[in-house]
Structure 1
Amino acid sequence: MLEQIKEKESLQNNSIEPSQDSLASIVLEIEKIPQEHWSNLLQIIRLYGESVKIKTPPVDAASKVIDELTNQDPIVKAARQQALLQLLETWAEKGDEQEQKETWAILSQALGVNDSSISA
């Protein structure tokens, strides 16, 4: 029996994905620890869980925006361009004219728009 447990633990050390065997190995390790220390172990496990959550990159909003901007679907692309034109027209109606011209120059270059005006 002891050899089977050691064999399972050995297999788990080489395994990447968690499984029922890894859970069994964790339980076996916990059973080796005196019960009076389980509350400390629980705190350690919780702290470890929190540290893993922090290190796991959250869903990045910037990645979603980049994915949306690089979407090559012609319908999505046309809708995106129309929305940008509407935004630029809104900016043209109010605000600092020099800043608008600079912004338009940067955006038109990035969008590959050859027209020097903001009209649709």
Structure 2
Amino acid sequence: MLKEEYHCQVPDTLEELLKLPGVGRKSANLIMGDVFGKPAIVTDTHCIRLTNRMGLVDGIKDPKKVEMELWKIIPPEEGSDFCHRLVYHGREVCTARTKTPYCDRCCVAEVCKKCI
């Protein structure tokens, strides 16, 4: 399909990327932000977990719904970077695999719903 319909060029719109076999919303947004430098919000497990813990979204687990809520509060040009920072923060500080996250070393603890 990429060869026939797009002449071996990766499409640069979310709609066209989603038409490619095996490309879901997360991958399409990642390509949009990292490859094309376009506004994108990548909702992976870290993003969903952290935005719920921090209170940026309230009890939403569906990736597309989290993405839509974040579009309301994150400036488009900052979406991709914001999500990459969440991944790092989720791996190093606000972890999923420990009983409690490391709130004592969290840079956003004072505004985090889980900590206050």
- TM-score above 0.5, yes or no: no
TM-score normalised over the length of structure 2: 0.25
Q: Which has the larger radius of gyration?
A: 1
Please give the TM-score of this superposition, normalised by the length of structure 1: 0.24
Larger relative helix fraction = 1
